[in-house]
Structure 1
Amino acid sequence: MYLEMALNHGEEENPLEKIYIGELPLMLKSDVCHLSGLNKDEILAKGEDPEDPGGYFIVNGSERAVVTMEEIAPNKIILERLGEVEDRRAKAIVTSIKSGFRARISLEYRKPRKSGVFLRISFPYVPGEIPLVILLRALGLSTDEEIITAISDDFNFQMVVADDIQVSEASLKLDSKEMEGLSKEERENYLQKTAVKYIGNRVAKGMTEEYRIKRAEDVIDRYLLPHMGVEENRRADKATYLAEMCEMLLQVIYEMRDPHDKDHYTNKRLRVSGDLMEDLFRVAFTSLTRDMSYQLERSISRGKDPSIKQAVRSDVLTENIKHAIATGNWVGGRAGVSQLLDRTSYMGTLSHLRRVVSPLSRSQPHFEARDLHPTQFGKICPNETPEGPNCGLVKNLALMCKISEGSDSEEIKTVIKEMGILD
């Protein structure tokens, strides 16, 4: 692979150079494979088997299949009851994905042991859990009335939120004397700033106040529901989304709504080779850029003229990708994603290439996850699954099953606007 790049000094712009950055294994019979589009005779002339389905990689002389992974549908609220109905514990989860970055947002309702809030939320780069009402304040819902009405018009729900607001004020350590002389608008700004400070104390403890506030705002914009946008003007939309998420959670608690069936295939997505290779390439490319930065800094510290060609070590990207495919140890700590292709028989090869693996632990019962679900009809083979601990967790696609591709909602919105359907 080659990448056009230039090393610029200040405002001076240098011409782009074509730099070799590394190698990427190709999937056999893919569009860029030299076997793609050939007829039977042409494939035979190249010494290959025309009946070979392709769909695998060759790394260090071994045929490796990247197994399809099953996961919960991203960018969708999934409601889950924790324990029995009378325990009054439930959770709402969203796996927000934007440009490959995955952020898991978890909102939980549980009775506090002593005095505490009922609704707590967690998201990346914020240690532990924080009260939902404090996060809503930081997002711009400054007054108590705005928070309560945004969540629901149901009296029982409003009382739960009102209790949380009252308890959370102690966590914010509000200065009553400072608030006395403030106007309504100044009071709202003060409450919002205090909520941002509270989050800043979690994400940048021990730093200056200015840095804590800046870091908290950066975390909220970039890592809270990134699929909704990472711009500052999307905070109000994120607050509305979280308020709706909270209402749905309370409906589960008060038995006005059933929790989602996580085994329903509407709530699942399959990550095929392309998606998994995308994750792997992103991490490998990030490692390459960090290594480039280090090499350039080292050259400058030694008094040498920095050179972009010398700074790029192509083996960094190549080895990261080849090692993951060769061992099956993928990004995110997953193991067994890449496997040695089964060549016992032709049907065994086809079966292996159409295998679907669940991320659930084999040591736990997971009875419902292992069961055959009605929504798997036409998608998952009801018969082919191994015996033992993998039963029901390792599945295979049905014979006539085809996987559709996901689409970026922002691209669809852009096309709709260009067509003049929406302003």
Structure 2
Amino acid sequence: KTSGNVMKATIPYIKVDIPIWVVFRGLGVISDRDILEHICYDMQDVQMLEMLKPCIEDGFVIQDREVALDFIGNRGTTTGLSRDRRIRYAQEILQKEMLPHVSMAEGSESKKAYFFGYMIHRLLLAAMERRELDDRDHFGKKRLDLAGPLLSNLFRMLFRKLTKDVYRYLQKCVETHKEFNLTLAVKHQTITNGLKYSLATGNWGDQK
């Protein structure tokens, strides 16, 4: 997405779009030149470099990886975390939720940074009318979701919801000085009903 002339990225479980320079720094690519080399493959391409200037200026205030991760984590759907936990949360999101088809393994930040840069490079080429826009309805661009990945992603989402419910119940017990009851805390129907609903309806997205 673009806000004015500043490009921003939409990241799962992050409530607002993040400037691309901050995303690169969160992935461990720190210097402006290194980021530019991930996006612009010809440093003599003045037009492309000019289009990236607003992004450089927008990301100037964040020059450190930890600060970038804290910036991302602070805008996540999980609130009330300490700084260290926000950083770990952001690392986990970038590792497991951003571009999962590239890799979900630890230490995959470099691969993701190169692919992220490639995506932006193609976007800029289209914006400068050097290449045609992709046809989103072309069958070559369609993604076929098989049962295994659909079920694993759904289970991951439901298990995350279950752990949040347990955490909220634990917080309530601490605040009200009540005894923690594991049977009441773990609502097994969260996962069971979620799986049944998706298998019955074919809706594999977020369930209200």
2:139 paired with 1:248 = no
Q: What residue number does 2:82 align with?
A: 208
More helix by share: 2
Q: What residue number does 1:218 align with?
A: 92
TM-score for both structures, normalised by structure 2: 0.71
2:9 paired with 1:137 = no
Deviation at 1:138, TM superposition (A): 1.4
2:113 paired with 1:239 = yes
Q: What residue number does 1:279 align with?
A: 151
Unmatched tracts of structure 1, length 5 or more: 1-107, 173-189, 295-299, 335-423
Instruction: Measure, in 1, the Cα distance between the counterparts of 2:9 and 2:57.
Output: 17
Q: How does 1:4-403 map to 2 (within 5 A)?
A: 108-109=1-2, 112=4, 117-152=5-40, 153=42, 154-170=45-61, 172=62, 191-203=64-76, 205-271=79-145, 275=147, 279=151, 283=155, 317=192, 328=201, 330-332=203-205
Preserved contact between residue 148 and residue 162 of structure 1 (Cα < 8 Å): no
Quote the sequence identity (%). 23
Unmatched tracts of structure 2, length 5 or more: 167-178
TM-score for both structures, normalised by structure 1: 0.38
Residue identity opposite 1:209 in structure 2: R
Q: Deviations over 1:66-91 (max 9, x none)?
A: xxxxxxxxxxxxxxxxxxxxxxxxxx
Instruction: Measure, in 2, the Cα distance between the counterparts of 1:254 and 1:130.
Output: 23
Residue identity opposite 1:142 in structure 2: I
Q: Which has the higher contact order (CA 8 A, sep 6+)?
A: 1
Preserved contact between residue 150 and residue 204 of structure 2 (Cα < 8 Å): no
Q: Deviations over 1:156-211 (max 9, x none)?
A: 112222331113224x3xxxxxxxxxxxxxxxxx6222212211221255432211
More strand by share: 1
Instruction: Measure, in 1, the Cα distance between the counterparts of 2:6 and 2:153.
Output: 41
Preserved contact between residue 142 and residue 191 of structure 1 (Cα < 8 Å): yes
Instruction: Measure, in 1, the Cα distance between the counterparts of 2:29 and 2:149.
Output: 40
Q: Of the two, which has the highest radius of gyration? A: 1
* Count of aligned positions: 187
Deviation at 1:249, TM superposition (A): 0.2
Q: What residue number does 1:417 align with?
A: none
Worse overlay, 124-133 or 208-217: 208-217
Preserved contact between residue 24 and residue 35 of structure 2 (Cα < 8 Å): yes
The DSSP-based 3-state class of the residue aligned with 1:141 is coil
Instruction: Measure, in 1, the Cα distance between the counterparts of 2:16 and 2:26.
Output: 17
RMSD: 3.9
Distance verdict in 2 for CA 1:260–1:207, change over 3 Å: same
Q: What residue number does 2:171 align with?
A: none
Q: Deviations over 1:352-394 (max 9, x none)?
A: xxxxxxxxxxxxxxxxxxxxxxxxxxxxxxxxxxxxxxxxxxx
